Amino acid sequence: MRKYSNKIIMELGSELCSALGRLRKGYVDAAEDLILLIDDSKPYPYEFVVYRLTGYSPSSSVTDQGHLMQGGELKKDLLTLILDICDSFELRTSDYDEKTLDNETLAKNSNVSTKTVQRWRDRGLVARRMIFPDGKRRLAFLESSVNRFFRAHKAEIKRSAKFSKLTKVDRKRIIARSRRMVSFTNCTLSDVAKRLAKHTGRAVETMRYTIRKHDAENPDKAVFPHLLVSLDKVKKRRIYQDFLKGIAVQQLAAQHRRTRGSIYRIINEVRALQLLESPISYVYNEEFDAANADQVILTVVAEPEEQAPAKPVKAPADLPPYLKSLYEVPLLTKAKEQSLFRRYNFLKYTADKFRKRIDLNRIQANHVKRIETLLLQANVLKNQIVRANLRLVVSIAKRHISGPLNLFELVSDGNISLMRAVEKFDYARGFRFSTYASWAIMRNFARSVPKERYHLDRFSTGHDELLDIAAGLRTYEPQEGGIAELRDDIEQLLSHLSLREQTVLMSHFGLNEKGESKTFEQVGKDLGISKERVRQIELKALEKLRDISSD
């Protein structure tokens, strides 16, 4: 969504963009008709706007607020609303029985620059975004819309055309003067255009357009030849890095002899590219697609007070001070943990959804900022989850100290595993995160601690489903039994299965005494059945275990 002055119109736009496709064209046309009725100096109620666009009155819960909007701001919001609705479906030029002009054609026919057309749009010229016969979507102006605007702004149109009519002599003088300015001073195009505008009494955009057009048509005689060459990715990223270091945009513009607007475009382009290049992983849940998901999921509900306050956990005496401080962070309740993971994954899901809408040809700074904000909010929640579980890493690391690895190195290594576990944990399965994280941390230590590798290899399945199911039986606390507890959990699960099902799982996943896993074909030969039958038995057994763990 683009920027709106009235949030209530933005919300209305979101609803209209989700309406049936056959209705959206009618909303666009109704919005243009409403713009013609609005007086900039008068206030208008929300109910009036909704009725003029849809033919229906909004619910009383909204109209009771008595929300009034100033005509000038409302008109701009409606111009924005039209573009948002147009972008939400395929509106074609053939959908209208009249001539349609794109931005360049309107500028050429009116003998003005495209910047002048942009100024007309700011004054109320209605633009749609439509698909032209060549299959490309771009700004479009209905001939009727243009004629109405011209009739209402005769003086301005006449003045714009007058200032656009530069003779060949005028153009030569402008180019010659701009060339002298550049040769004596290190001016940017923006500086030159402003000085020429003051000297000639014409618009700054007219000066800029004249110089750019000359350079494009005469590259060997260009006043600003460096502007004809696009910056490569390396140079753009360097500009962005300088901006992050605190170098002002104005200084960067002078350094690279470009306008501040072009520097901002480069910065936004690099930000957008970084978002597109960085993967956003999350655990999807169907509730994320609900119409009111934002309101339901992101609303933080206060937890009920416990009858008795939790007793503070005393840190082990043999820990250094910086690790003892971890025990001051309270553990998460199950409800709090579920809420954090739910919001964390939803924020990343939303960010990824908006990221897919990035158009590098039309980068919107607000759109990029919104994605960055969502990811930042998600990262805050992730840090909250990690901090509450850091003592888990310390507990496991203390029992794995051996060889060249000290406690600090093990904790650092375990923290990485903990953060990865946050990324992959599926909160919807109802398990406690501590069990899942404990297994992830121990598997990681198995690669660095040979003794632990032997034990974990006996229970490593090659896929975590069985262990995830076992995690649902109870919350694993590493100080209470370590690997033996995980094995007990699995054996408790297997006791609910038939003998054949137990045999298949134990043989395939290497849960027997030898710790050797077998293929479906090998298990089938042992049982005298086909490997396909073995696969079916395993799937059925896993389904039983999932049902048991979810009870």
Task: Name which residue leads in pLDDT, 100 or 318.
Answer: 100
Domain contains 57: yes
Q: Is residue 481 part of a domain?
A: no
- Would you say residue 226 lies in a domain? no
Distance, CA of 168 to CA of 283 (rounded, Å): 64
Whether the pLDDT of residue 516 is over 60: the answer is yes
40-60: pLDDT as tens digits: 899 999 999 999 999 888 765
Number of domains present in the structure of the chain: 1
- Using DSSP, state whether 129 is helix, strand or coil: strand
Three-class DSSP labels, 369-424: HHHHHHHHHHHHHHHHHHHHHHHHHHHHHHCCCECCECHHHHHHHHHHHHHHHHHH
d(CA 225, CA 258): 11
State the pLDDT confidence band at 546, using cuts at 50, 70 and 90: low
Query: 240, 272 in Cβ contact below 8 A?
Result: no
Start-to-end C-alpha separation, the chain: 43
- Return the minimum-mean-pLDDT range out of 165-174, 252-261, 355-364, 459-468: 459-468
Distance (Å, rounded) from C-alpha 45 to C-alpha 38? 12
538 touches 545 (CB < 8 A)? no
The number of residues in the chain equals 551
pTM of this structure: 0.54
pLDDT above 50: residue 476: no
Tell me the pLDDT tens digit for each residue of 64-101: 445 789 999 999 999 999 999 999 999 999 999 999 99
Is residue 341 in some structural domain? Answer: no
48 lies in some domain: yes
Specify if 67 maps to a domain: yes
Residue 213 inside a domain? The answer is no
Please choose, from the candidates 49, 39, 38, the residue with its C-alpha nearest in 3D space to the C-alpha of residue 13. 49
Compute the distance between CA of residue 368 and CA of residue 265 in angstroms, rounded to an integer.
12
User: Is residue 213 a contact partner of residue 115, using CB atoms and an 8 Å limit?
Assistant: no
Instruction: Name the nearest CA neighbour of 37 among 115, 105, 124.
Output: 124
Residue in 115, 189, 106 with CA at minimum distance from that of residue 149: 106
What is the average per-residue pLDDT within 217-231? 86
Does the pLDDT value for residue 523 go beyond 80?
A: yes
Distance CA 14, CA 84 (A): 8
The β-bridge relationship of strands 128-131 and 137-142 is antiparallel
| Residue 116, pLDDT score | 84
Distance CA 104, CA 107 (A): 5
| Mean of pLDDT values over 497-508 | 83
Three-state DSSP at 101 gives strand
Q: What domain range is 20 assigned to? A: 1-89
Computed over every residue of the chain, the mean pLDDT equals 82
Any domain includes 176: no
